[in-house]
Amino acid sequence: MGTLQQIHTWSLTHHPRWLVVIRVALGLCLFIKGISFMINSAAVEQYVQNSRLAAYDSWIAIGVTWAHLLGGFMIIIGLLTRWAVALQIPILLGALVFIANQQGIFASGSMFPMTVVIFLLLIFFLVEGGGPLSLDNYFRQHPK
């Protein structure tokens, strides 16, 4: 049995049902952040313009917005959960760097603590997967 199969088998047998609520909440947070980025796209582009990636500001704003929308939705329903989480990790890592450089870690009103929590949850669900109440598990049990 390969390492990935062992991790998957372990996660299915040790996955409490309340983790589904946390997975859905994580997906909702990302989805809502994607909607927020879509509504405030000019502010997101301005935020990126103040960094070294200024030449790609509109592409980054569009990519991050759609990655949060699509990834958040996929995490909510548990479809390709590990892939959706893997897509979000570099984005959140970049957000941690941007927030730390521009706002400061302990600044008043900083989003740094919330971003760290979301990042840690993404790492957790990268290992854990969607669990027994997900479309991943449904399609695995019903291959037809």
- Average the pLDDT over 40-50 and give the result: 77
DSSP 55: G
What is the residue whose two structure tokens read 């994607």? 34
Query: CB-hemisphere CA count at 13 Å for 51?
Result: 20
pLDDT confidence bin for 11, thresholds 50/70/90: low
DSSP 131: -
pLDDT winner (highest mean) among 51-55, 95-99, 101-105, 119-123 = 119-123
Question: Residue 79 — φ and ψ, nearest 5°?
Answer: -100, 120
Q: CA distances (Å), 108 to each of 76, 116, 117, 125, in order?
A: 31, 16, 17, 29
Which residues form the domain of 133? 3-141
**Which has more confidence, 1 or 59?**
59
Q: Are 87 and 71 in contact (CB under 8 A)?
A: yes
- Average the pLDDT over 22-51 and give the result: 87
- Distance, in Å, from the CA atom of 142 to the CA atom of 80, rounded to the nearest integer, reads 15
Say whether pLDDT at 6 is over 80.
no
Number of domains comprising the chain: 1
pTM over 0.95: no
